[in-house]
Amino acid sequence: MAMREVQITFDSADPGALAGFWCEVLGYRFQDPPPGFDTWEAALDAWGVPTEERNSRSAAVPPEGESGPRLFFQRVPEGKTAKNRMHLDVRAAPGLRDDARMAALAAEADRLVSLGARVVRRMEPNAMDQGTIVMQDPEGNEFCLD
């Protein structure tokens, strides 16, 4: 069986803002407008999308030449009410161990807090785990810096 592409979809109150946050976290970029349009605004104008619907969805993609899943953000009327059953682990300290690892994770956590994230808890290294910082994005979706 051939490998399949994966898209990760986030329900959101503000798709554009949440897409922008995750672009900063992952080094992604907003998806380019479709062929024939210089901007998304021009595409939405041409398609007759009402102003109030223009932030109903957004997408983020890896930088040109890189691979990774497309992230899709869709507006939903309800807010988040429970813990995620699935979450992203953001590899923010590859190859680092012990104090250097936790320092790198803490520095990245501080950067993400400045962008609207929240630290939930810090899990120190032990025999079973190298250490992780559990966070929430600006809309409360849990993810780990690992």
Domain ranges of the chain: 7-75, 88-145
The answer to whether 122 and 135 have CB atoms below 8 angstroms apart is: no
Q: Is the pLDDT of residue 1 over 90?
A: no
Amino acid identity of residue 78, one-letter, is E
pLDDT tens for 14-49 read 999 999 999 999 999 999 999 999 999 999 999 999
pTM: 0.92
pLDDT of residue 31: 97
**Nearest-CA neighbor of 66 among 32, 34, 28?**
28
pLDDT class for 83, splitting at 50, 70, 90? Answer: confident
Mean pLDDT of the chain: 95
pLDDT class for 91, splitting at 50, 70, 90? Answer: very high
Euclidean distance between CA atoms 133 and 59, whole angstroms: 26
Q: Is the pLDDT of residue 128 over 90?
A: no
pLDDT of residue 127: 84
Euclidean distance between CA atoms 13 and 112, whole angstroms: 19
pLDDT class for 126, splitting at 50, 70, 90? Answer: confident
Euclidean distance between CA atoms 98 and 7, whole angstroms: 33
Euclidean distance between CA atoms 125 and 66, whole angstroms: 31
Identify the weakest region by mean pLDDT among 79-83, 97-101, 138-142: 79-83
